[in-house]
Structure 1
């Protein structure tokens, strides 16, 4: 059983890497790729099995992207889908006692949050130019300070919300497994079911907030009004 907060590190080229987080991240990516392959290896007009599950998920996310970002944001649908699948798999991976979630490491959640926020600003400048920069100075130039603080807070709140919830869930599962006798599995099963629910909700919240931030960068001004 893994120990929460204790991580094996390796040093390379003067840098320190969390080996466990790296392995779990690659395992998560492998699982997502495997699910995608299973869903697309034998496509049918009437979907079944994995194809049916993934098509339902893709259809739902496409609807969310279209409603939140407008037509100009549809090109981000593959990114949003990949982000949600990665988060969902990561959050659930730690429910296996011998494994840990990549998202119980602040480095992972902060990296994902920074990726989203940087992408927001890059797309905003690319698609809206000076108009995007100008909105930070509205309604008056002094508001640029408040807007700057808000932008700094976005990756912090995104990352800590996901990190805290996943870490707490894994800690409680390990405590329950150690404290509950083998003949009293019901509390552990109930908490495991709740953790599965929380993992799904946290993946959903992170993805929805990411889409809301990206919508500010890609949505047409007339669509925002």
Structure 2
């Protein structure tokens, strides 16, 4: 592997004719490691009255399970590990860039688009499995045959909007935090930092809830 020079704020590496953003790869690995450690820490010593991270994790998990039950019914329980892991990865990944010396893996469109495409692929696989291939293809031509173009455009737009929403908010937040830190007194960046923490959690919820919505459509018998 040959390490390339710095382009902008990204360290690139070239291998087998491919270019890799090492900042994103390293931060993604760190995010996964943090998620694993926090999950173990939150479940190792369970308390009847949860505190700290265990309290946040329990509330988030219960809320997501309720949403999956509401939107997917009993079938949604099979997807609980995926949804919960996705949410935790997004929360940690979104906030990682607020730590000096770190960047958020979700400030890279490749990460958010990859996550969005993963969800969309699972949606289509589940749709074919639950509805059958013929019925699945047929719904693209409903309610009228000319609607096939509109339906296909809608499917293509899903991963694009899902990924760009998350990418844009996280990247903009980190850029503004950096600019404010250079231009204004210390307390203003601190206030923006607190707001960015809130935005990171909200964006993780939005991405996860939209994923639940898309997945629930693939598990229903109707359109």
- The TM-score, its normalising length taken from structure 2, stands at 0.91
Provide the C-alpha distance between the structure 2 equivalents of 1:4 and 1:207, rounded to a whole number of angstroms: 32
The alignment status of 1:154 with 2:158, answered yes or no, reads yes
Match of 1:96 in 2: 99
Provide the C-alpha distance between the structure 2 equivalents of 1:23 and 1:185, rounded to a whole number of angstroms: 29
1:21-67 deviation digits (Å, cap 9, x = unpaired): 00000000011001101012233455444433322221111001111
| Aligned mate of 2:61, from 58, 62, 65 | 58
Aligned residues: 217
Higher relative contact order (CA 8 A, sep 6+): 1
The alignment status of 1:171 with 2:172, answered yes or no, reads no
Q: Is the 1:124–1:132 contact (alpha carbons within 8 Å) kept by the matching residues of 2? A: yes
Q: Is the 1:120–1:214 contact (alpha carbons within 8 Å) kept by the matching residues of 2? A: yes
Flag the 1:158–1:143 CA change in 2: closer, same or farther, 3 A: same
Provide the C-alpha distance between the structure 2 equivalents of 1:212 and 1:5, rounded to a whole number of angstroms: 36
Match of 1:84 in 2: 87
Provide the C-alpha distance between the structure 1 equivalents of 2:118 and 2:136, rounded to a whole number of angstroms: 19
Match of 2:114 in 1: 111
Gaps of 5+ in 1: none
Match of 2:3 in 1: none
Task: Give the CA deviation at 1:163.
Answer: 0.7
Gaps of 5+ in 2: 1-5
Task: Give the CA deviation at 1:114.
Answer: 0.5
The alignment status of 1:7 with 2:10, answered yes or no, reads yes
1:108-140 deviation digits (Å, cap 9, x = unpaired): 011001001111001100111132222111101
Flag the 1:29–1:36 CA change in 2: closer, same or farther, 3 A: same
Q: CA RMSD in A?
A: 1.8
1:81-116 deviation digits (Å, cap 9, x = unpaired): 111111111111111131100010010011001001
Flag the 1:70–1:136 CA change in 2: closer, same or farther, 3 A: same
| Aligned mate of 1:128, from 126, 131, 136 | 131
Provide the C-alpha distance between the structure 1 equivalents of 2:181 and 2:100, rounded to a whole number of angstroms: 9
